Amino acid sequence: MVSRVIPVDDFDLVIFGGTGDLARRKILPGLYRRYCSGQMPDQARIIGAARGDHDADEFRSMVRDAIKEFSKKNDCDDDKIEAFLKQLDFVSIDARGDKGWPELKGLMRDGVVKAFYFSVAPSLFGDIAERLHLNEIADAQSRIVVEKPFGRDLESAKALNKDLAKHFEETQIYRIDHYLGKETVQNLMAIRFGNILFEPLWNSQYVDHIQITVAETVGVGGRGEYYDKSGAMRDMVQNHLMQLLCLIAMEPPARFEPDSVRDEKLKVIRALEPVDPHHIVRGQYAATESEADYRTDAGDPRSRTESYVALRAMISNWRWAGTPFYLRTGKKLKARTSEIAVVFKDAPHSIFGPDAGRHRNILSIRVQPNEGITMQVTIKEPGPGGMRLIDVPLDMTFAEALGEEAEDIPDAYERLIMDVIRGNQTLFMRGDEVEAAWAWTDPIIQGWELRNDVPKPYDVGSSGPEDALMMMHRDGRRWREIKE
Ligand code: NAP
């Protein structure tokens, strides 16, 4: 199988924050990969923009280093890198001042797609949008890409939406949630809506519950100060986990088109019940002999910010009434994994008698690592001795199923940037979706703040706080093991 690469139209892409961490780690190496695949036209241009006084050659040299540091080894071909770098330029610009804007205007071409990636702090989004407009750099066809976090509560998200809406239509705004760019996440839609097999069972009559786990082994690293103002609820649940929940729970959209898909996701968020305080657990990782605790990493000995959340979400609609969705995410857990598990109900009657034990079908969708899908099915244990049942996995690991082609699967950022150039908003969050997600998470966070809630400690390398296990236990269920 050879993957099909369809080149995008010619474009000028300006990356505000082009010298920052995200640009160096993800955006620029991602664009280089798209260049190597033949998807990026030879005339297309990428213009880095930041306050630093660099010239274009210094910027290219920084990008060369970034590609070598952050791309896979066999992606790095010196000739290709040099050819890619020729498509780069740089302008020294101040988002809050006058410096650099006329130069940027002078660099932009007419008649090509113009995209502006705001890879800067959200406090600068409004300033950049305004200056792009005042300097007549953006036009009605231009696109802007904004990074997370999109607000820290409903009020700030509304204010950001309002700032952007002063100068750009909703159809021009691409709010990134990179989880939506992941191959398996899109596969979730292919599995649900491309097969007749699952959809008839995809409801509370057949599904006992669903677990969504995003577990990390890393701590807050160098991002302690930023993370401590945010916590797992704002940093992970409000965006990534809720997006996964929407894709699992939404009704089939009429078409795979931006507003069809986003309308259905919005309906899910609006149907979420307020979370029962007995069904939410916050945690903070505790020190071990060799590792510091969260508070030390965050630089605040009295921090009450959570590095772990587990909660039970209920959706009040015809399809899902009574089926719990258990969400959990945390740092410094025992393994790095993102998984969605659809746990089906027991068969209505066991013809094999009580000795056969309890067996359930589980559809597990692994988002990362080892992307793939496993269906747990029940079969007879081979051999003589009567009818004993065992569970076996029907396994489709993409790397095995797709062979060499799996190597070419674009990373989430690559895919999403190409979608921006193509003008396809399907995998980006709409303003009302983001606001609805905050409207659901705000009362939870406010409740913690009002009660001065102290997160429960959990051991580094564990599955999270004991209370999260108990929460499941009380519901007569068990978390799936966190493993790679
Ligand atoms: P960063 O490393 O601090 O980089 C910030 C960039 O913005 C630098 O290039 C900086 O260059 C530029 N900048 C700062 N003030 C500016 C101004 N007034 N005018 C023009 N440029 C200015 O930040 P980052 O980690 O790349 O994050 C960028 C955005 O992505 C943030 O919204 C962040 O929340 C989001 N994000 C980051 C990650 C990640 O892994 N890093 C992941 C998800 C989302 P100068 O100082 O030279 O101006």
Whether 127 shows a pLDDT value over 80: the answer reads yes
For residue 223, name the pLDDT band (cuts at 50, 70, 90).
confident
Q: What is the DSSP letter of 317?
A: S
Which pLDDT value is given to residue 387?
82
Report the percent of the chain where pLDDT is more than 90.
Answer: 82
473 noted as active-site residue: no
How far apart CA 41 and CA 78 sit, in angstroms, is 19
Which pLDDT value is given to residue 1?
46
- CATH of region 11-147, choose from 3.40.50.300, 3.90.550.10, 3.30.420.610, 3.40.50.720: 3.40.50.720
Whole-structure pTM value: 0.94
Which pLDDT value is given to residue 405?
64
Which token pair is 60? 């290219």
For residue 369, name the pLDDT band (cuts at 50, 70, 90).
confident
Q: What is the pLDDT of residues 288-321, one digit of tens each?
A: 888 899 999 999 999 999 999 999 999 999 999 9
Nearest protein Cα to ligand 1, atom 41 = 22
For residue 458, name the pLDDT band (cuts at 50, 70, 90).
very high
Interval between CA 222 and ligand 1 midpoint (Å): 14
Q: From residue 102, how far is each of 74, 164, 175, 229, 323 by CA, in Å?
A: 40, 21, 27, 36, 56
Whether 2 shows a pLDDT value over 60: the answer reads no
Interval between CA 21 and ligand 1 midpoint (Å): 7
Q: What is the pLDDT of residues 68-118, one digit of tens each?
A: 999 876 777 899 999 999 999 999 999 999 999 999 999 999 999 999 999
Q: Which of 104, 119, 179 to mutate to test the pocket of ligand 1 (most atoms within 8 A of CB)?
A: 119
Mean predicted confidence (pLDDT) in 438-443: 98
State which ligand 1 atom lies nearest to the alpha carbon of 178. Answer: 43
Angle at 402 between CA 397 and CA 407, to 5 degrees: 95
Q: In the chain, where are the structural domains located?
A: 11-147, 180-412+430-474
Q: Higher model confidence: residue 86 or residue 222? A: 86
Which pLDDT value is given to residue 163?
96
Which token pair is 132? 């792009």
Which residues of 120-259 form beta strands (DSSP E)?
143-146, 173-175, 207-215
How far apart CA 255 and CA 189 sit, in angstroms, is 12
Which token pair is 31? 């664009």
Nearest protein Cα to ligand 1, atom 6 = 17
For residue 407, name the pLDDT band (cuts at 50, 70, 90).
low
Whether 3 shows a pLDDT value over 80: the answer reads no
Q: How far is CA 126 from the centre of its chain?
A: 23
Q: In one letter, which amino acid is 111?
A: G
Q: What is the pLDDT of residues 233-264, one digit of tens each?
A: 999 999 999 999 999 999 999 999 999 999 99
Mean predicted confidence (pLDDT) in 376-404: 82
405 C-beta neighbours (distance < 10 Å), count: 13
Q: Which residues pair with 456 in a beta bridge?
A: 283
Class at the top of the CATH hierarchy for domain 180-412+430-474: alpha beta
Q: Which of 62, 120, 225, 238 to mutate to test the pocket of ligand 1 (most atoms within 8 A of CB)?
A: 120
Which token pair is 208? 């006992």
Helices (H), 92-182: 101-107, 125-134, 154-165
Residues with CB under 6 A from ligand 1: 16-23, 50-52, 93-96, 119-122, 124, 147-149
Residue 388 annotated in ligand binding: no
340 C-beta neighbours (distance < 10 Å), count: 24
How far apart CA 216 and CA 465 sit, in angstroms, is 15
For residue 480, name the pLDDT band (cuts at 50, 70, 90).
very high
> 11-147 and 180-412+430-474 share one CATH topology?
no
State which ligand 1 atom lies nearest to the alpha carbon of 26. Answer: 40
Of 133, 240, 349, 473, the active-site residue reads 240
Residue 221 annotated in ligand binding: no
Q: Which of 16, 51, 128, 216 to mutate to test the pocket of ligand 1 (most atoms within 8 A of CB)?
A: 51
State which ligand 1 atom lies nearest to the alpha carbon of 96. Answer: 18
Which pLDDT value is given to residue 84?
96
Q: Helix, strand or coil for residue 389?
A: strand
